[in-house]
Amino acid sequence: MVKVIMGVKGSGKTKQMIDLINSAVNNEHGNVICIEKGRKLTYDIHSRIRLVEAEPYNLNTFEVMRGFISGLYAGNFDITHIFIDSLCKIVPSDCGPQLDSFLAWLDNFSEKNNIKFTITISADESLASEDVKRFF
């Protein structure tokens, strides 16, 4: 399952994400990971959540992000949910075909490995393609 939360800056995406992350602590029976740009969620999410700051890993393309997610899972088969805050800021991109392709790959990866993904994207929902909208 892939869920996308999309909206312009100030629309409440991060607040919604924090609530979902903190509720995952009680509802998930495996490890929960949050990938973020910067360290803005450090004090807002439960300490049992594995917080990964993306900057040191230079996740500058969707190919690199695919490898990173695959590597996280290869190192820990107990992951049940991965949250990605501000995907298009971590991987500098617009809401184009590369995003569509990445989300399709993520959906496939999710089904194969029984992992949930929740992603925020800072952009106007009207810019989303039909491929992205199916994950709203």
Residue 35 domain boundaries: 2-133
**Residue 69's pLDDT band (boundaries 50, 70, 90)?**
very high
Transcribe 15-66 into DSSP letters: HHHHHHHHHHHHH-SSEEEEEESSSTTTTTS-TTSEEEESGGGT--SHHHHH
- Nearest Cα to 121, choosing from 72, 86, 70? 86
Which CATH number is 59's domain given?
A: 3.40.50.300
List C-alpha distances in Å: 30 to 24, 34, 114: 10, 13, 11
**Residue 95's pLDDT band (boundaries 50, 70, 90)?**
confident
User: Helices then strands (H, E): number in the chain?
Assistant: 5, 5
Task: Decide if pLDDT at 26 tops 80.
Answer: yes
Residue 81 pLDDT: 97
**Residue 96's pLDDT band (boundaries 50, 70, 90)?**
confident
Number of structural domains in the chain: 1
Task: Decide if pLDDT at 133 tops 90.
Answer: yes
Average pLDDT in the 130-134 region? 95
